[in-house]
Structure 1
Amino acid sequence: MTTNSTPQVKAFKFSPLLPGFNANPYQTYTRLRLEDPIHQDIYGNWMLTRYADVKKVLGDQRFITDKIIEQIQDKNRYIQHKQKDLNILAQTVRKWLLFFDPPEHTQLRRMVHKGFFLKTIEGMRPQIHKTVEQLINKVQASGQIEIIRDIASPLPAIVISQMLGLPPEQYDRLAYLAKDLFLVFEPLLSLEDYERLNQSAWEFREYLLQTISERVKNPQEDLISSFIAARVGYGNPLTQEIENDLLSTCIFLFSAGEETTAHLIGNGILALLRHPDEMERLKQQPQIIESAVEELLRYDSPLPKIFRVHD
């Protein structure tokens, strides 16, 4: 006698917060898709790994952006005895595009879109090419290269600084602050980490305040001037709310753009080195570079997970 039955899969407990996961998540992703595509992790969070499920949740307005702001503010009660708070960090991150739902997200996105439209990115292509050549020339004589340190990390910091109209002598410091602030997405930060991020947010804001004040009086051909024009028009005073929008948006563009672009370059170069046939194909057919970048984004994304909270 025979019976038909579904094979029982041994359950496993997992969380993307576990140490070492980000170094090589793909075996785990494959197992999740095959064995448990709607998975509850060891902390009670639900993980979706199928395309259709993820797409459905991201398009469902009942699922809202992550509550990192509430987490930051909750830490205040642990440092009040030191006469400190994390309000600058919360004030900065609160206006990041990632943490907004419509209609607020729509308003900020419109400002950014208008700014980029006024300052056409295509017009920066020659300057970006020049920057890449300069970075390569700096290491060419040594005969070896550390791709993250020499290219992937400095390139986006320099380009974003140029787009915003910030002077080159500030690139390194602003890149450091941007990397620091991007750690706000890490779920297991200590109180000391939060205090340091708060200080980084304060320093970044103080520097940008000077630049924004100058651009209100004397607009330039840069994104900060374009953002001001898109929000209030040239020559008009800024309210505190609009000023905070501008500060947070510029910091977000710098932090998110620097970190994700650096990881894309690093992951992309590594993937091509591991697949020399694809590297050779790209060398022989440089016209496919755009589709190659899209595939590298898909193959080993610099942002492999995104969080949502059910309202």
Structure 2
Amino acid sequence: MTPPSLLRRITDYASRADPYPLYEELRATPVLHEEDGGPYVVSSYYDILGLLHDPRISSDAANLAVPGADELPGPEAAGLPPSFLRLDPPEHDRLRRIANSSFGPPRRPHRIDSMREELHRIVSELIDGFADERRVDLVDRFAYPFPVIVICRLLGVPREDEPRFRAWVDPIVAALDPDTRDDPDAPVQRAAQEARVQLGVYLAGLVEQRAREPRDDMLSDLVAAHGPDGSLSMMEVLSTAVLLLIAGHETTVNLIANGMLTLLRHPEYLRRLREEPALSVRIVEELLRYEPPVQLVPQRTCLADVEVRGVTIPKGSRIWLVLAAGNRDPERFKDPDRFDPDRSDVEHLGFGSGIHSCFGAPLARVEAQIALAELARRLEDPRLVEDPPPYRPNAVLRGPRHLNVDVAGVRP
């Protein structure tokens, strides 16, 4: 019986709890190509960084060797045009600039910073919700609802509709499993398609409402955007909204859940964070290196022959960039398998790099900093119930499905 390939072992659910020994094995072959028609897998820090900035590497869905197979759910599956995540310049740059104008500088330079008070309030209310319990699932009760509430309020989704998003988001994210996403007839893919359609219909109604009655929210800004780059069509507004809702939310869930799991495994830093809330900034940056929520970018396409470490990757080939392997590359980071928030140099790949670097990184950072600092402050003697915890099936967006913790109490 032929043993499974290294890439198959990495994507196998059995490796989800600890893929890092496999990433170490992967780095021994910086450019891995195991079979004809399969992807070229790149795992060293400097090679990944270079390819993320290389204009010969395409993100355009039209160039993908396996259409629709990407690292994040595509709005086009619901009949919408591709989001800017799946486009190359110049169209990518135009759409991203318009979207960014409602998210940050220069038009909305204080939008994220001005949310800090509300973020603290949301976090406090969520923790208050399980204050009388002595065992709590920090994913279900905290890490999952927090980003949903935040992104919905940022976009302008009515509060009474926030619970509906979980019913849509769960099947869409489940469909990212590399073992099923290329089979449109798989039950998980059919469920995801139905969820995308329902989400698209709902957002279309909300966009039409904002066109008639604009408010102080991001969706209204997207609808009303008009400047040097023109404006967004209705379909482009919907694509951008779907991207922000799904991609931004799911990565933040994993960042917070991975963060608490890591701190519970390193109680000395949990104690320090309780005493020094400002340490949350360094902790989050080290988490983005040590346990990044996006482990790999499984679909890019070469627009020309590209040479990496003496290996020629032919034009038209698929490339997988294993960000989490690069983040623990000993060529780049000293003692890379050690969690060390006091690290002086932590220029990680946790949010990618180049033109497709994470659009929502400023918000995700603030959310994680506030969430982890407040959990550290308020939870009394938290202890993991199960280690490792059960993980989500997806190898791309990796994080615990549940994180059950016993606590002696919850501080006010």
TM-score range for the pair, normalised by the shorter chain length:
0.7 to 0.9
- Unaligned 5+ segments in structure 2 are 304-412
CA distance in 1, matches of 2:279, 2:202: 40
Match of 2:196 in 1: 201
Q: Which residue type is aligned with residue 29 of structure 2?
A: D
Residue 220 (structure 2) aligns with: 225
Does structure 1 conserve the Cα–Cα contact (< 8 Å) formed by 2:139 and 2:257? yes
Q: CA deviation at 1:87?
A: 9.7
Give the conservation status (yes or no) of the 8 Å contact 2:156–2:219. Answer: yes
Matches within 5 A, 1:169-248: 169-189=160-180, 190=183, 191=185, 192-231=187-226, 242-248=233-239
Hey, which of these two has a bigger chunk of helix by percent? 1
Pair member with larger Rg: 1
Query: Alpha-carbon deviations, 1:97-127, whole Å to 9, x = none?
Result: 3211111111111111101133711111111
Q: What is the CA deviation profile of residues 193-213 of structure 1, one whole-angstrom value per residue up to 9, with x for unaligned ones? A: 333222211111111111111
Letter in 2 for 1:103: P
Partner of 2:257: 266
Q: Which has the higher contact order (CA 8 A, sep 6+)?
A: 2
TM (norm. structure 2) is 0.63
With normalisation by structure 1, the TM-score equals 0.82
**Correspondence for 2:77 among 89, 99, 105:** 89
CA separation in 2, counterparts of 1:37 and 1:256?
28
Of residues 154, 158, 163, the one that matches 2:145 is 154
2:102 counterpart of 1:102: no
| 1:24-35 mapped onto 2 (5 Å cutoff) | 24-33=18-27, 35=28
The 1:41/1:282 distance shift into structure 2, 3 A limit, reads farther
Kindly report the root-mean-square deviation, in angstroms, between the aligned alpha carbons of the 2 structures.
2.7
Report deviation, 1:71: 4.4
How high is the sequence identity, in percent, across the aligned residues? 29
Question: Which residue in 2 is equivalent to 1:136?
Answer: 127
Q: Contact between 2:76 and 2:82, CA under 8 Å: does it hold in 1? A: no
Structure 1 residues 70 and 309, CA gap change in structure 2 (3 angstroms): closer
Instruction: Give 3-state SS (helix, strand or coil) of 1:205's partner.
Output: helix
Tell me how far 1:90 sits from its aligned partner: 5.5
Measure the CA separation in 1 of the matches of 2:152 and 2:301: 33
Secondary structure of 1:185's counterpart equals: coil
Q: Does residue 46 of structure 2 align to residue 58 of structure 1?
A: no
Q: Give the secondary structure class of the aligned counterpart of 2:135.
A: coil
- Structure 2 residue matching 1:139: 3-state secondary structure: coil
* Secondary structure of residue in 1 paired with 2:301: strand
Q: Which structure has the highest strand share of the two?
A: 2
